[in-house]
Amino acid sequence: MRLLVLGGTEFVGRAVAEAALGRGWEVTVLHRGRHTPPPGVRALHGDRTAPDGLAALAEGTWDAVVDTWSAAPRAVRDAARLLRGRAGRYVYVSSCSVYAWAPPAGYTEDAPLVEGASADAGRSDYARDKRGAELAAVEAFGADRSVLVRAGLILGPYENIGRLPWWLNRVARGGPVLAPGPRDLPLQYIDARDLADWTLGAVDRELGGPYNLASPAGHTTMGGLLDACARATGGAAELRWTAPEAVLAAGVEPWEQLPVWTPPGSDLHDALQGADVSRALATGLTCRPVGDTVADTWSWLRAVGGTAPQRPGRPPVGLDPDTEAKVLAAGTA
């Protein structure tokens, strides 16, 4: 199989490229040259935001294209139009954020979508950018030859958002840790490597259409995640489990200041931790244990010096030490 990855040097794109190489596929990546691509790929350079930024793709044919773009939809439009006669399938890594807010727990791929998105648009907000890019892929390749990977929370090695790396570094530092409850709060996420394996399987199976891609709801819990962080880091952290009402009353922002965590019963939890993924499971999705995701991310994080690379334009995540100390001192934990 011949695969073209638009990106291919960071997080999800890199996971896809490495998984394809592991299957013996011939992999080409188009990237801007800011990061070293995986060994074994054919590397082409191009900046999709610049005039003639796709010139390196003027020739060549591929069985499939995987695109992880997260900005102006017209960049996906231009690439998909250029490649529609020379690639068999276009896989766009989208997001569950494309659903109209707030989708109820258990929402399927048929749930209402965000309005106002366009394949021809410049950069807008994340949800409309992702939906506009979906429209661009379908416009060029049709519903049968485009795969829309509506990913949930993505974790794993090479993460450039900082959610799991923040928790790992915080737990490794030791001492009392503000652990947002309840401990048995069900979580839903996808390891980037499991996303990559399913995506390549979708190419093999010649799938088309949208798929919610995350672990089944409750694949792990908040307690399972933080316990895995403690085991992986070997730190002397003391997890101080705190009721969600106390966390919110202290003014702590879920998801941003306490990454991954969303209060039970909230719109945020239902939207980010409540997707129906039965369609993906029926087409081959398998999810590794949370302990493997955490341990492998910790190994990678130590290999890069403990500081995860940050995606440009994304604000840092995590609770600062002073705020955490104040909340713990107030006796909310």
Shared-domain flag, residues 37 and 177: no
Shared-domain flag, residues 115 and 25: yes
pLDDT at 221 over 70: yes
Domain ranges, residue 176: 160-187+219-272+289-329
Confidence of residue 184 (pLDDT cuts 50, 70, 90): very high
Average the pLDDT over 286-303 and give the result: 98
Instruction: Report the range of poorest mean pLDDT among 17-21, 188-192, 232-236, 259-263.
Output: 232-236
Q: pTM, whole model, 2 decimals?
A: 0.97
* pLDDT of the residue at 333: 44
Shared-domain flag, residues 259 and 113: no
d(CA 57, CA 238): 53
Q: Which of 151, 178, 206 is the last residue of a domain?
A: 151
Shared-domain flag, residues 92 and 110: yes
Confidence of residue 311 (pLDDT cuts 50, 70, 90): confident
Can you give the CATH number for the domain in which 107 is found?
3.40.50.720
Render pLDDT for 33-73 as a digit per residue (tens, 0 to 9): 999 999 999 999 999 999 999 999 999 999 999 999 999 99
* pLDDT of the residue at 310: 83
* pLDDT of the residue at 196: 98
| Other residues' Cβ atoms within 10 Å of the Cβ of residue 323 | 14
Q: Which residues contact 29 (CB under 8 A, 6 or more apart)?
A: 4, 5, 6, 7, 8, 9, 13, 17, 37, 38, 41, 42, 43, 44
* pLDDT of the residue at 315: 84
Domain count, the chain: 2
Render pLDDT for 136-151 as a digit per residue (tens, 0 to 9): 999 999 999 999 999 9
* pLDDT of the residue at 267: 97
d(CA 86, CA 64): 9
Rounded to whole angstroms, what are the CA distances from 74 to 146, 147, 159, 311?
Answer: 16, 18, 25, 20
Shared-domain flag, residues 262 and 177: yes
d(CA 269, CA 276): 13
Average the pLDDT over 212-216 and give the result: 97
Q: Which residues contact 277 (CB under 8 A, 6 or more apart)?
A: 188, 212, 213, 214, 215, 216, 217, 285
pLDDT at 235 over 80: no
pLDDT at 231 over 60: yes
